[in-house]
Structure 1
Amino acid sequence: MDEVPLTEGDQTRHLKIGSKLTEGLRRRLIDFLRSNSDCFAWSHADMLGIDSKIIMHKLQVDPLHQPVRQKRRKFAHERDAIINDEVKSLLGAGFIREVQYPEWLDNFVLILIHPDDQEKTSFMTSRGI
């Protein structure tokens, strides 16, 4: 894999492309990616405004089943710090919100959830629910 800056000279935002491409195909791919650089999301903040009509996960939950409350997994300090940083970023972008009294409790959820199902997809970290 070769790392290619999305903007020539800018090493902060780079892409990985196959190293076995012919020179002509490599150049065309880089040109294409650079001409469409506005389509890339480099952080959660870059993804604000995604319309929930485009993508939203809806749970098919049988109301006859009892809620599941998993035990919190403990992670090594380094991983816990990474998880907490990611949660902070997701909170800041408005992708997740804190809840107080979840019936369902999981260890992680990574997709947009229908508002009716959000309480069923609560997750926990060392910093809380």
Structure 2
Amino acid sequence: MPITIKIEEECFQAHASQAAGNAQWTVYRITNDNRIVMESQKARCFSVEDTIGMAGDSINAKVKSLWHQLVHSLPDEDGRYVMFDYVKLQKDATWSRACSFVFWLPKEANPESKSIYTAGKDTFKAALNTS
């Protein structure tokens, strides 16, 4: 039987807030009744503007630190969807803002959780207009 997943309005509001530059990352989860809700959002603490005058190694270290903070905040035994906003070096040697969709599904997650998160991933990404 196909899994029906409902995306709550708060997800769209959180995504719009992040797109406006207000959040470093947003974590979404699927509830027991198959609704995707916004679980948490980290306020922006590092942006392209912060890179002015910084050495490339320092910028990369800051982005890596933010990534580690995010990963350590996620559950060990359940899935999550995350939009992670960071600073990225471009081919022309300038820094720009980037945002990536993260599909968090640890191997310790139970089979039902894995099925539900996998089933909802493409629908959720499409709803948020992410690639």
Q: Higher strand proportion, which one?
A: 2
Q: What TM-score do you get using the length of structure 2 for normalisation?
A: 0.27
Q: Higher helix proportion, which one?
A: 2
- Asked which structure has the greater CA Rg, the reply is 1
